[in-house]
Amino acid sequence: MLTAIPVPAVLRVTPGVATGALVLAPVAVLPLGALVGAILWAGGETTIPPLAVAFVALGALALGSRALHLDGLSDVADGLTASYDRERSLAVMKGGTAGPAGVVAVVLVLGAQAAALATFVGDTRSAVVAGTAVCASRAALWITCASPVPPARRDGLGSTFTRRVPGWWTLVGWAGLAGAAALVDPWRGPLAVGVAALAVLLLVGRAVRRFGGVTGDVFGAAIEVALAALLIGLAGAP
């Protein structure tokens, strides 16, 4: 669900397994965070334009997650713009094809991520911060899958993982991220984390109002939005 790295199959996803997977989501992508950081550091040792390096890093990140989260972002954008009818919107999202709104959403979010990520190209500290932001963005699942958030469907990924993260963990976890971000910059770090959390909350609120709850596509969209907010907020801070 979080990376393309092969692991032994989980034959039965119990509530405990689902909760554990979601709580540890930022840890699961440590290899991808390290890969992004390595690309940014290596790119700084060359004469390649920083923006080009940033796009290579994002390409590697997409490949490492099978572009699953970008697909979710595209589907959610299409679902929100397809119709005000809940069932019609859910059907569009499940269809899998990218419409105009989905394409625009992916271009805009990837562009924002790349522009911000370009500022991290160069020294080791910046590369580490960027890689850590990749991992931290997966904490978006602590909000999308928090206990008060309902699933939009009775089947699918959303129904398996929704309502599995205790509310107290969501609050404590994001507060911990804000505290860790303060080590990067005393005020911009926590602000970036706060904006990322707010962006995810707004997305989830919109999904609940329009779709009746969240789906696996909303999970992916939330991760991409959180990553963009974190990178923009921390750009130039390291």
pLDDT per residue as tens digits for the range 90-128: 999 988 788 899 999 999 999 999 999 999 998 999 999
pLDDT of 154: 80
Separation of alpha carbons 220 and 54, rounded Å: 20
As a whole number of angstroms, the distance between CA 97 and CA 107 comes to: 16
Q: How far apart are CA 182 and CA 202, in angstroms?
A: 24
- Comparing CA positions, the residue from 175, 177, 168, 183 lying closest to residue 230 is 177
Percent with pLDDT over 90 in the chain: 81
Q: In this structure, are residues 10 and 1 in contact, taking their beta carbons and an 8 Å threshold?
A: no
pLDDT given for residue 8 in this prediction = 84
pLDDT band at 84 (very low <50, low <70, confident <90, very high): confident
Work out the widest C-alpha separation in the chain, in whole angstroms.
52
Please check the confidence at residue 65 and state whether its pLDDT lies above 90: yes
Residues 6+ positions from 26 with CB-CB distance below 8 Å: 135, 136, 138, 139
User: Of all residues in the chain, what percent carry a pLDDT higher than 70?
Assistant: 98
Mean pLDDT (the chain, rounded) = 94
Query: How many degrees, rounded to 5, is the angle at CA 59 between CA 58 and CA 63?
Result: 115
Measure CA of the first residue to CA of the last residue in the chain; give whole Å: 30
Residue 238 has pLDDT above 70, yes or no: no
* Each residue's pLDDT tens digit, 127-184: 999 999 999 999 999 999 999 999 998 876 667 899 999 999 999 999 999 999 999 9
Q: What are the backbone angles phi and psi of residue 143, rounded to the nearest 5°?
A: -95, -50
